[in-house]
Each structure stands twice: as C-alpha cells, then as structure tokens.
Amino acid sequence: MTPARRRSRHWLFTLVLLGIAGVFVLLPGPARNVEAFGTRALQPVQGIASRLIGQVDEVTTVVGKMNELSEQNAQYRDEIDRLQAEIARLRELEVENRDLRNLLGLKQRTGTGELLPVRAIARDPSPFVQAVTIDRGIEDGVREGMPVITWRGVVGRVNRVGPTSSKVLLITDTSSSISGRIQGSESRVTGLVRGRQEGGLLMQHIPQEESLQTGDTIVTSDLGGILPEGLVIGQIVQIRRKDVDVFQEAVLEPSADMKSLDRLYVLLSMGDSRGDSR
C-alpha cells in the first residue's frame, strides 16, 4: 500500500470518529439510547457484584461474631471452673465442720483430751498388715502408743514415729489388741478385741454369763491405761457361744470405716477420762 493511500485511510477514520462524536453532541436522543443500552447490558453484572459484596460483608460479620462468641465461651468456661472449685471447697468445709461438730460431741461424752488433726497419706502395701501412714510425727508431738480416732470411733494406735510422719497400726490388724466392754453394761466385764484375718474384729474372753445381743455397741475400757474409757470400737454382728466353754466371743463390725480413712485425730492427751456410765 502506497503512502498516499495510507494517509487517505487515516483521514477517513478520523472523519468517522468526528462524525460519531458530533452525533452524540448534536443529537442527545441517540446518545441516551446508547447509554440506556449500556446500562441494561451492565445491570446483571452489577446485581451479581452487589450480591457478592453483600455476601462478603455477611461472612465478615459472621466471622467477627464467631470470634466474639469464642472469647465469651472461654470466659464462661473459666467462670464455671472457678465456681466448681469454689463448690468443691465449700463442700470440703461442710464435711470438715460436720466432722468437728461430731468430734466435739465425742469429747463431751468421753472427756477425751487434746486432739491433733492428721491425714492418712499411705496404706501399708502388704495385704497381711493393716496400717496407714499419717502426715504428722515427732515434730508435731506424736509419740508411739498414742491412740488414733475419728468421731465414729477408734482407728488404731501409733506404733512407729518419724520426724514428720508416723505409722498407725489399725485395730483390724491381727497383731492389734485392745480392751473393750459392752456399752451400758452394769457388770463392766471386759473382753479382748483383736483384728481378724478375715476382716473386722473379734472380741474374746467374754464370760458366758455376760448377756450379749447383736447390735450391742462395744466401747474401750480404761483397763491398762492404753486408751481412754468410752471410745466406740464397733457393733456386735455375730455371737459365738459353746456351753462347754468358759468364755464366749463376738464378731464386731468396726465403727470407723477402715477402707476410707481421711480425717483422723491423734489423741495427744487422755483428758479427764470420765468414761461412759450408761
């Protein structure tokens, strides 16, 4: 194509553009039609874009609310944990207060002396030994032979003492023996209470003429001065009697729960040992 022909086409294209521009300027009607056509053509695209923007805004709002709810849930969980810990503490205090009230009643009934609160921290691993370790020792005034009780009754006696802990031989151990009598009995006849290999207690050397009944309560006797008078040992659940024997014997259920020993008390002094005269 010659340079002259290229120049003529260039001028023709320029004139066409100027003509179209003149139409839009001089004839506003067609211009509006073109604009309306463009608007109609772009309207679906604008609707889609608007919906997309709205959905993005909703997602952003939902994510923000989820983060807010997550933070609130974390705060609620912390508050629930705190309240549960407080409830557990209050329950523990309630049990301790009840225990102390019962213990006060025991002191009023028996005249027991100074009591040192202790906790059982371990059991003897041997199945043939009934003993527990408590968290107090010589530094706390604990001495060998001191009685260990709960408000329910006698648990055992200290048989080994360390600086900060001690071992307590339970009354259910077969090597344990304490003097007991029937609560309320006028004869004041005593017997020897030992631990049984099968579990529980056995009261021996009870004269045949002594009247026994299942359900009778056996309490400590002050014979020998080992234990104060009137501490509950257990209840009779079975009576063994043979006419040819001089003595009868009784199987006892310990008053203290030997399987669940928690709050215990070491009897540091015997008190006035008033006893139980019923």
d(C-alpha 144, C-alpha 35), whole Å: 109
Is residue 93's pLDDT more than 80? no
Tens digit of each residue's pLDDT (9 = 90 or more) over 121-151:
999 998 889 999 999 999 999 999 999 998 8
Residue 224 pairs in a beta bridge with: none
Tens digit of each residue's pLDDT (9 = 90 or more) over 192-201:
999 998 889 9
- Helix (H) / strand (E) containing 239: strand 232-240
Burial of residue 105 (CB within 10 Å: 0-12, 13-18, 19+) is exposed
Is residue 152's pLDDT more than 50? yes
Q: What is the pLDDT of residue 274?
A: 45
Q: What letters, b where the CB count within 10 A reaches 16 and e where it falls short, cover 135-153? A: ebbeebebeeebbbbbbbb
Is residue 277's pLDDT more than 50? no
- Written as six digits, the tokens of 74 are 């974390």
Residue with tokens 């207690």: 201
Is the model's pTM score more than 0.85? no
Please tell me whether residue 227 adopts helix, strand or coil conformation: coil
- The dihedrals phi and psi of 3, each to the nearest 5 degrees, come to -60, -35
Cα 17–chain centre separation: 90
Query: Are residues 220 and 178 in contact, defined by beta-carbon separation less than 8 angstroms?
Result: yes
Confidence of residue 94 (pLDDT cuts 50, 70, 90): low
Distances (CA, A) of 23 to 16, 29, 76: 11, 9, 72
- DSSP for residue 230: T
Highest mean pLDDT among 18-22, 27-31, 268-272: 268-272
d(C-alpha 267, C-alpha 274), whole Å: 15
Confidence of residue 10 (pLDDT cuts 50, 70, 90): low
Q: What count of other Cβ atoms lies within 10 Å of the Cβ of residue 223?
A: 15
Confidence of residue 78 (pLDDT cuts 50, 70, 90): confident
d(C-alpha 140, C-alpha 161), whole Å: 11
d(C-alpha 43, C-alpha 41), whole Å: 6
Q: Which residues contact 151 (CB under 8 A, 6 or more apart)?
A: 99, 102, 103, 105, 106
